[in-house]
Amino acid sequence: MTTRPFMTMAEVADALGLTYQAFVLRRGRMVADMGFPEPMPHCQRPLLWRRDRVDHWIAQQGLPRAVQPARPSGPNVYLFEKAQVA
């Protein structure tokens, strides 16, 4: 069996160890900040990525880590947390 040269968004998400929804949400940031490859320019729907580029990126970068949500800080954090409970 030969490997297809292109991957769908679901296949890319699976290769990255992410859910489809997580990949959809993180893709823009991964492209801008981490150099993740863009989908093929002539494909609008479904989006397709070159398998060799995705594999190369994973080999160079590794799998993306889970992003921890930023904890709010500042003088009003205590008041905000109390307001959420009330």
Residue 10: inside a domain: yes
Interval 26-51 mean pLDDT:
88
Gap between the Cα atoms of 61 and 41, Å rounded: 23
Residue 1: inside a domain: no
Residue 75: inside a domain: yes
Model pTM greater than 0.75? no
Interval 6-15 mean pLDDT:
93
pLDDT at 84: 66
Interval 38-46 mean pLDDT:
80
Query: Over 90: is that where the pLDDT of 49 sits?
Result: yes
Band the pLDDT of 11: cuts 50, 70, 90: very high
Mean pLDDT of the chain: 82
pLDDT at 67: 47
Q: How many structural domains are present in the chain?
A: 1
Residue 68: give the domain boundaries. 6-85
Residues paired with residue 7 on neighbouring β-strands, in sequence order: 49
Q: Is the peptide bond before 75 cis (omega within 30 degrees of 0)?
A: no
Residue 41: inside a domain: yes
**43, 63, 55, 2: CA torsion to nearest 10:** -90
pLDDT at 68: 44
